[in-house]
Structure 1
Amino acid sequence: MTLLRQLIMAILAVLLLVFVGSVTINVVNTRQYLDAQLQSHAQDAATSLGLSLSTSVAEDDRATMESMVDAMFDSGYYRTIELVNTDGAVLLQRTQPVRLGEVPDWFVGLLPLRTPVGDALLMSGWRQLGQVRVRSNPGYAYLELWRTTRDSIQLFAAVSVLAMLLAVLGVRVLLRPLRATETQAIAIAARDFPVQERLPRTRELRRVVQAMNHMSRKVQQMLHEQITLSEALRAQAFRDPVTGLGNRALFEHDLHHLLTAPEEHFRGTLALVQLRDFKAFNNAHGYAAGDDLLRQAAGALREASADFAPHTLARLGGADFGLLVACGEDAELAELGATLSRALAGLHDHGLLAEADVGHVGLAVHAGNDTPSALLSRADAALRAAQTQAGNAWHVAAPVTGTTPRPASAWRELLNESLRDGALALYVQPVMRLDGEAPLHHEVLVRLHSDGELLPAGGFMPMAERFGLASAVDRAVVGSVLQRLPELPADRRLAVNLSPSSLADTQFRQWLDSQLAAHPTLAGRLTFEVPEYGAARHLTALRDLAERLSRAGSGLALDHFGRGFNPFDYLAGLKLRYIKVDGRYIRALPQDSDSRFFVHTLREVAHGLECLIIAETVEDATQLTAVCDLRMDGAQGYHLATPQPL
């Protein structure tokens, strides 16, 4: 029961007690007064009539006696008038019934009035002739008592209603700061931190509001400090302090994860870039100039590789850089090599180096058969081959026997055909609770039929992004999920992946909004996962999507979290259902303390935001043990369950 309702009921109870007491006292006093008046009235009438009738009785003048009695009786104020002689015989009697008029019978039964008899002696000198007995008619008294009681109740009820309205209005005004404080507390629990600028005048309420404002600021500060610490620890573990790129540890984690994770199905190119004679440059110009050259080279490589949507760009140590991109066709390799070569030459053109021969690039294509060490070895051999050629040269390692990358035109035709024919296959993989209970939900995984096999999303979505077909793939998946979801158990919840292109596409967000509005009973069973590296590039679109999903009752989550060095502060206002940690950290948990510390800190941030933290790509028992030791909320991977057709 609300405080307002309790106060209203208390006020009503007090008013009712006051009303009952007041009316009772008023009615009792009025009744006693009327009882006394009836007694006095009857006695006065008897005395007066006795004096008037004495002579007529002595002379036995019956006509006069009747005239005098009738004159008094006809006024209607008397119920009975009797004349009796000394023997008790009735000489004259007048009687009329009690007329109550508008007075209800229940009121008469509830408050009966006494009607005592007034009497007087009839005397002739010293001789007693008889007696006059008079009883007043209580009808008028009942009428007066009824009207007094009714008017009192009506007046008090009107006053009570007015008092109640004023009390409710006053209580609402007094409780307004409490309602604002309740809203503020709910907002804090929802990871928002408002401050009430308008303070109430009531001293006690003012203190409560001030305390809540202080708590809101402190919680926001604590969360910000926790996020800042997490970012600093991640940067310390995986970011190169000179260039701001990823470091060697991050690159090796990424390479191993991309080449071995079943769902990644990475098909692309590893590029190794090395600046020439960097040690000599350091000796000649000093370490500060050397660090500046590395920063300029990193910026040039970052800008040059932006159009290729790199998975990873890192400084491997010294003047060596590593790059992983999802392309492997001959034309793409030529474009990538030439672009990186121009970026190196640009360092000379901007006057950073005296010699035009800045560095070299080695490229190796992974088509599915390489181990991480083998791919690195082939890229390093290509780099050595480039160093034997002209300045800023690039070289591609010979492909592994039996592997031929699919041409871009063939990819485009395959994707368009699959979308036209509705040939995308949907699988689901459960995300398991670590307490052994039922799955948290099932993630929908899309597959593409290709040459007799099913390619996971990691094998074809980069090409879909390249050809502008990613949003079309997402539309097909969402439409199919909405069509099949009613056939699944009512407690089955699904997570659907959205590409960065769909996130940035206003028309796609509007289409998704309309689809969820058309299926309101299904929307609450869906969560949409957006890759963190794409979400950070489209924050405005991400917030718009979060608002639309919240209205529809669906959830929002971030996938592959930690793949980039994006700040965490944007997480606070999104109201995420969960964060899914990128597989490169999960694979490294058993042997890498930096990954464990990063996941531990991220878990504290996630729980502070009241969202779950889930491990993806759990592929063996040691990884699952590490995930459990870190008290994560859920896990997903082939070690727990393989994907099954939806």
Structure 2
Amino acid sequence: MTLFRQIYTLLFVLFLLVVASLSYVQFTETQSFLTKQMESDLNNTSNSLGIMLVPDLEAGDIVGAETLINVIFEGGYYQQVKLTWLVDGKQQVWQNPMTIDGVPQWFIDLGLFKTIKRESTITSGWIQLARLEVTAHPGFGYHELWRTMTNAILVFSILFLIAIIFARIGLTWILKPLHEIAEHAKEVANRKFGPDMTVPKTVELKSVVLAFNSMSEQLKQIFNSLDEEVGELRKKNLVDQVSGLPNRQYMMGRLNSWLSEPKSGALMMAKFDWLEEVHSKYGYQVRDETIKLLSDKMKQHLDGVTGSVIARIAAYEFAFLITSSEHDQTSKYLQTLIRTINQEMSKAGCKPNEGFAIGIAERIGQMSVTDVLAQADNALQKAIQGNQVFHWFETNEKQLFTREQWREHLSAAITEGKFKFKWQPILLNDSNSILQRELYCQLEIHDKMVQAGQFMPYVELLSLGTLLDKCLIESLHSKQLLNRNFEPIAVNLTFQSMGDTEFHQWLNKFLRSSTLRERLCFDIPEAAVYSDPEACQALCAIIRDNGSHFGIDHFGRQFGSMSYLQNLRPSYVKLDQSFAYYDESEHSSELCRALINVAKGLDVEVIVTGVEEQEQLARFTPLKTNAYMGYISPPVDVD
């Protein structure tokens, strides 16, 4: 029971006791007063009637005596009058029926008034003439008592209603700061640090509100300091201090993540010997400034072509990871890069198209980090040896299908629901029991099984992401995959679905109609959160309001604030795979620990991804993560 209801009930009971006490006092006092009044009236009547009857009794006038008694008796205040003549013993009785108008019979049956009678002897001198007995009629008492009590109850009821209404209004107003404190406490418990509460005038509540405001501000500062610590550690460990670009360690982690995901794209490695010329002419300060300007221009111009990661991996070597593109788009990226380099070379007084070389290796089929690095370095060396600006690594491996063929196969598979599924268990650290299962899809084309890594790049390039997501979610229902296990199933959503309002409406309708929606989890890529936070927040609200769950995939990959966790409040985060490949240095552990502390500080479960060996898992054990996944426990076919 809430504090408001407790106080309200207490006031209600106390007021009820007061009203009941007052009613009881009023009732007993009125009853006593009416009884005394009837006794007094009866005494007066008995004495007066006895005196008035003396002449008639002395004369033996029976008719006169009867007339006199009838006059008094007809007033209705007496139930019975009995006159006994002592001369001859004759007895006369006058009686009124026991009927009382306007008073319920049950009230009369309570017997609140005892029989009141007065007996007197009428004398004349020393001679006794008659004996007179008068019995009071209780009707007057019942009638007056009933009228008084009904009026009192009516007044008390009105006062009672007015009192409880004002008590409710008053308590609501008085306890409003306490209600705000409760709501603020809930927000703080959910790690939502809003503006300070208004300080009330009530002394006791004022101190509580001030304490809550202080606590909320301190928790907010703690979270912000953790967020700042993550930023500083990233800057210290993963960012090149001169260029402001990611360093070699970050690039290696991203390469591992990129190759483990269903992506396309290319890796470019560039060597800028002209920067050495700048160094020899103008010194290291000018060289460093030139590197900073070049880095800013490359980010500015290349981000508009396609998404990529630009890193400085050595003094005069840079790497460009294009995370999703086809050959034509990669060529456009290359031309923009060459143009940007030439512009900066001209500003530095160097000849364009001289003093730098670029090697390009495209991702085709299944490749390892060693493969793609070797191909890119081989292309770079050939460009240097041939005195070329760039060189593409030549491979005999061809693409499985053309773009239009992929469109045909994928459209048919989505329409007809031809996808086959695997799921990978996510295991809890402490018990190795399954926390959830992450769903993967594959496609059979011409009797050949095609993995997601081969067709997912074309799903994005052909803008089929929303249709694929709908197909996979509907397949969960049609194939009854949610009924096979008690563990939730996690579905990776594509970038296209994040900002598609029609998909939001469709998902809302689907979840409302699903009886097992609490077993559905949705993985949202962190990059989507940064690129379109409002759309992601709207989608997450739909998922949460329908009782499903969602988490952030590739957590910690992006260079940005973690404050979005407070707004989205995910159930879990999946640490980016790159952290599983970073070296075991103290700095890397500090960064992982800081990221995990940010999430756990908001009561968000942390899942480590990309775990392939027990040694990798052992590195995360001291960091108090919740669960892990990877090829240490590989995906299995869904029968």
Please state whether the residue corresponding to 2:101 is helix, strand or coil: coil
Does the aligned pair in 2 maintain the 1:329–1:408 contact within 8 Å? no
1:317 partner SS: coil
Matches within 5 A, 1:491-502: 491-502=486-497
Does the aligned pair in 2 maintain the 1:47–1:119 contact within 8 Å? no
**Equivalent residue for 1:116?**
116
Matched residue, 1:274: 271
Q: Quote the offset at 1:332 in angstroms.
A: 6.4
Q: Alpha carbons of 1:359 and 1:141: their partners in 2 closer, same or farther (altered >3 Å)? A: same
Q: How far apart are the structure 2 equivalents of 1:284 and 1:81?
A: 141
**Which of the numbers 507, 519, 526 marks the counterpart of 1:525?**
519
Q: 1:154 to 1:358 in 2, by over 3 A?
A: same
Structure 2: which 5+ runs fail to align?
none
Q: Which residue of 2 aligns with 1:440?
A: 435
Matched, 1:422 2:417: yes
Conserved? CA contact 1:84–1:131, under 8 Å: yes
* Correspondent of 2:465 among 462, 470, 481: 470
**Secondary structure of 1:614's aligned partner:** strand
Query: Aligned partners of 1:131 and 1:120: how far apart in 2?
Result: 6
Deviation at 1:327, TM superposition (A): 7.1
1:93–1:641 CA distance, 2 compared to 1 (3 A): same
- Whichever residue aligns with residue 568 of structure 2, its letter is L
Deviation at 1:537, TM superposition (A): 1.9
Q: Contact 1:340 / 1:361 at 8 angstroms: preserved in 2? A: no
Letter in 2 for 1:390: N
| Aligned match of 1:355 | 351
* Match runs of 1:141-540 below 5 Å: 141-195=141-195, 198-259=198-259, 261=260, 264=261, 269-303=266-300, 305-306=302-303, 309=306, 312-325=309-322, 337-349=334-346, 351-356=347-352, 357-365=354-362, 367=364, 371-390=368-387, 393-399=389-395, 403-406=397-400, 408-409=402-403, 410-436=405-431, 438-449=433-444, 453-485=448-480, 488-489=483-484, 491-517=486-512, 519-540=513-534
Contact 1:266-1:368 at 8 Å conserved across structures? no
Relative distance call for 1:490 and 1:33 in structure 2 (3 A) is farther
Q: What's the CA shift string for 1:417-451, capped at 9, x where partnerless?
A: 43354333232222222232753322221223357
**Given residue 101 of structure 2, which amino acid in structure 1 is its aligned partner?**
G
CA distance in 2, matches of 1:103, 1:35: 17
Encode CA deviations 1:345-404: one digit per residue, 9 max, x unaligned.
23223x12423213101233454576534543443232222112336x1123443xx633
State the alpha-carbon separation in 2 of the partners of residues 457 and 63 from structure 1: 125
SS of the residue 2:434 aligns to? coil
CA distance, structure 2, for counterparts of residue 411 and residue 325 of structure 1: 21
**Contact 1:231/1:568, CA 8 A, preserved across alignment:** no
Higher mean C-alpha deviation, range 328-337 or range 380-389: 328-337
CA contact (8 A) 2:307 2:324 kept: no
CA contact 1:35–1:115 (8 Å) conserved in 2: no
Find the partner of 2:536 among 538, 542, 559: 542
Residues 78-131 of structure 1, C-alpha deviations (whole Å, 9 max, x = no match): 222223355994543323333233323332343521333223332222233342
Distance 1:397 1:23, change over 3 A: closer
The residue number in structure 1 matching 2:624 is 631
1:6-33 CA-partner distances (Å, limit 9, x unpaired): 2222222122211221121112112222
Offset of residue 202 of structure 1: 3.2
Deviation digits for residues 487-523 of structure 1 (CA, Å, limit 9, x no counterpart): 6258442221122233244444444344445x25344
Query: Identity over aligned residues, as a percent?
Result: 27
My pick for the range that moved more, 447-456 or 468-477, is 447-456
Q: Secondary structure at the match of 2:313?
A: strand
- SS of 1:432's equivalent in the other structure is strand
Of 586, 597, 618 in structure 2, the residue corresponding to residue 604 of structure 1 is: 597
Q: Hey, which bits of structure 1, 4+ residues long, moved more than 6 A?
A: 327-330
Q: Residues of 1 paired with 2:336 and 2:447: CA distance?
A: 36
Q: Secondary structure in 2 aligned to 1:134?
A: strand
Report the counterpart of residue 620 of structure 1 in structure 2. 613
Question: Which deviates more, 324-333 or 89-98?
Answer: 324-333
Which moves more between the two structures, 216-225 or 413-422?
413-422
Q: Distance in 2 between matches of 1:371 and 1:66?
A: 132
TM score, norm. by length of structure 2? 0.90
User: Is the Cα–Cα contact under 8 Å of residues 434 and 487 in structure 2 kept in the other structure?
Assistant: no
Determine if the alignment matches structure 1 residue 644 to structure 2 residue 628: no
Taking the TM superposition and a 5 Å limit, the aligned residue runs for 1:11-160 are 11-84=11-84, 89-160=89-160
Query: Within 2, Cα distance between the matches of 1:56 and 1:418?
Result: 126
Distance 1:330 1:119, change over 3 A: closer
Find the residue that maps to 2:570 and give its secondary structure.
coil
Cα drift, residue 247 of structure 1? 1.0
C-alpha distance in 1 between matches for 2:503 and 2:116: 95
Q: 1:45 to 1:539 in 2, by over 3 A?
A: closer
Moved more, 201-210 or 311-320: 201-210
Distance 1:592 1:644, change over 3 A: farther
Q: Distance in 1 between matches of 2:450 and 2:104?
A: 92
Alpha-carbon offset, residue 240 of structure 1: 1.3
Using the size of structure 1 for normalisation, the TM-score is: 0.89
Cα shift at 1:318: 0.5
Return closer, same or farther for 1:305/1:637 CA change in 2, 3 Å cut-off.
Answer: same
Residues 482 and 516 of structure 2 are in contact (CA less than 8 Å); yes or no, is this contact kept in structure 1?
no
SS at match of 1:440: strand
CA distance in 2, matches of 1:458, 1:109: 93
Q: Distance in 2 between matches of 1:169 and 1:355?
A: 83
**What is the Cα-based RMSD across aligned positions, in Å?**
3.0
Q: 1:417 to 1:51 in 2, by over 3 A?
A: closer
CA displacement 1:600-634 (0-9 Å, x = unmatched): 21121112223221111222222223333321122
**One-letter amino acid matched to 1:631:** K
